[in-house]
A and B are shown apart, each in its own frame.
Chain A
Amino acid sequence: MIGLGLLYVIAGVFFAAIAVLGARDAKNPKRWKNTTFWGLFASSFLFGSHLPDVVHGFVVIAMVLTAGIGGLGRGAPAARDPEARRASASRLGNKLFLPALAIPATALLGTFVFKRPELAGLVDPKQATLVSLVLGVFVALSIAMPMLGARPKVPMQEGRRLLDAVGWAAILPQMLAALGAVFAAAGVGTAIGELASTLLPDGSQFAAVVAYTFGMAIFTMIMGNAFAAFPVMTAGIGLPLIVQRFGGDPVIMGAVGMLSGFCGTLMTPMAANFNIVPAALLELPDRNGVIKAQVPTALLVLLANTVLMYVLVFRS
């Protein structure tokens, strides 16, 4: 069955190729740091399932120290000049969109097709979308490489150019997920719940709603993830106050509460894959540029959520 195992091998080979190409790039003054970093990441994908957890932990710490002190360098793969790109664009025309759109198209198709019962056992149904996305990459490459007459080394060098632009931020989302797990194991959630219930005033439905929606947003900003904040804030405020004391509808509380958390996601560097990674990917001078573009909408939607919850949750 095609599942995460195969995807990890593919990703591991990709990162290993990045490490090797990086090692051969004498123009990058920090090339050995880059090679160490991506090499360790590749080993996490290729051998991670066989390593003891504590060894894996030290692999991660080694990566963090490699990239965290002094940063990584940027290689100098042959980026084509804009003139050549414009000439190529006008020669190829709209055909260029074909491979680009093949990725989402394959991801979409695969998500449906692989869930069909007659194909059960071929692809892990829980990973159908991710498997289809990676399949889409291969479909796109098989269209684009002959079209452009590119040898396999070209996409790998171009991939390295983009990955160098993202840099260490590429592993931040995965790091934050790991941080969430340590927080859970250390009992941070229970501590927050206790804190919240001692601080809240009694008797006010409105205060309870505001504490819950804004608490979801703020705690999501700290944790970087509404999924981590939801159980904590709902056990601390949502269930005991809004539902049990004031008789609110748990369905509306849950739905609007989670969406209040998403408002927090838009406003925090901790939600790295939505906010910090695109800033790096789009080469913005300000690391928080995406967050700044989102704050007005995030705050207004949070206010709207608070009003919606207050108006709707006590009705039924």
Chain B
Amino acid sequence: MLSLIGIAVVVLGFMARQNPLLVVTAAALVTGVAGGMEPLEVVATFGRAFKENRYVSVVWVVLPVIGLLERAGLQERARALIGAIHAATAGRLLLLYFVLRQITAALGLTSLGGHAQMVRPLIAPMAEAAAEHHHGPLPEEVRASVRAHAAAADNIALFFGEDIFIAIASILLIKGFLAQNGILVEPLELSVWAIPTALCALLIHGIQMMLFDRHLARMIAEGRR
């Protein structure tokens, strides 16, 4: 039970708005020692796990390309393209991206989106341009909200799409965990039961995206008052 102190460290650290790197490291050290490990053993466990998870950070090598294209005006081009389409609103655009992202994720194509590759260079500037086209220049607060919703569309579509694909890590984890407990299931059985939630997510977030343009108009009107 003593090892739960680490969870308290995480929660308190985030609540106190300390630097998350310090919070995480402190939580790891406290948890390890409270769980009965030697301090150097905790440092070694932390170091080994950091090493084994380096693949998580490989994705940053896309930044030079994105930066180079941004320098050449990629965001401006994305804006111009959407500004010319009168029917495009921020809500409709994000809904379209949401649906495409969810379908491709369900087919196992999870790397077709992403914040560094798609949202920053293309989707967020397009959504901003569509909002500007209909509402005029955006107050900073509204601009931030449009960008935040572009990131949210990517996350939500990915999470509630990918589990329909049978070879995704989470499906394999469920299968593996159940197998350890003597329950043998096929990945396909699991992925079928991800469909109801995927449809609910589509319905719930889809309605919100359809109402998003009205929400933006209200934010702007309140800002002007």
Contacts and interface: CB of A to CB of B under 8 A. Distances in A.
A162 B68 contact: no
Interface stretch (B85-93, B130-138, B139-147, B217-225): B139-147
Interface string A156-168: 1111111100101
Nearest to B50: A178
B43 A54 contact: yes
Given A250-B183, A282-B148, A85 B72 contact: yes
Nearest to B189: A251
A154 B72 CA distance: 11
A49 B51 contact: yes
A274 B151 CA distance: 8
A23 interface: no
B38 to A, nearest CB: 10
A281 B116 contact: yes
Interface string A69-106: 10100000001101001111110111011011001100
A90 B80 contact: yes
B53 A222 contact: no
Given A56-B50, A256-B193, A89 B44 contact: no
Nearest to B109: A108
B43 to A, nearest CB: 4
Question: At the interface, is chain B mostly helix, strand, loop or mixed?
Answer: helix
B16 interface: no
B71 to A, nearest CB: 5
Contacts of A87: 73
Interface string A112-146: 00000000000000010110111001001100110
Given A49-B51, A129-B111, A182 B148 contact: no
A29 interface: no
A266 B159 contact: yes
Interface string A45-85: 10011011111111111011001110100000001101001
26 contacts: A7-B55, A15-B60, A57-B44, A89-B73, A103-B62, A134-B58, A148-B72, A157-B67, A158-B66, A166-B60, A174-B53, A177-B49, A178-B24, A179-B28, A187-B35, A195-B1, A266-B156, A270-B10, A282-B148, A289-B145, A292-B148, A296-B208, A297-B201, A304-B197, A304-B204, A308-B196
A127 B62 CA distance: 17
Nearest to B116: A281
Contacts of B185: 250-251, 254
A253 B1 CA distance: 27
Contact of A188 (B6, B122, B140): B6
A187 B80 CA distance: 54
Interface residues of A, number: 149
B112 A108 contact: yes
Contacts of B80: 89-90
A255 B174 contact: yes
Nearest to B180: A231
B40 interface: yes
Given A10-B61, A174-B54, A144 B69 contact: yes
A177 B66 CA distance: 26
A141 B64 contact: yes
Contacts of B58: 7-8, 10-11, 130, 133-134
B66 A54 contact: no
A191 B154 CA distance: 34
Contacts of A294: 152, 155-156
Contact of B60 (A127, A150, A163, A290): A163
Contacts of A230: 170, 173-174, 177
B55 A282 contact: no
B69 A270 contact: no
Contacts of B42: 57, 182
A310 interface: no
B3 to A, nearest CB: 5
B96 interface: no
A301 interface: yes
B163 interface: yes
Contacts of B81: 94
B3 A301 contact: no
A67 B60 CA distance: 18
Given A192-B4, A259-B163, A100 B122 contact: yes
A251 B73 contact: no
Given A286-B144, A294-B152, A94 B159 contact: no
A174 B50 contact: yes
Given A45-B54, A231-B177, A255-B163, A282 B147 contact: yes
A276 B66 CA distance: 19
Given A92-B77, A177-B53, A177-B56, A282 B47 contact: no
A300 B208 CA distance: 11
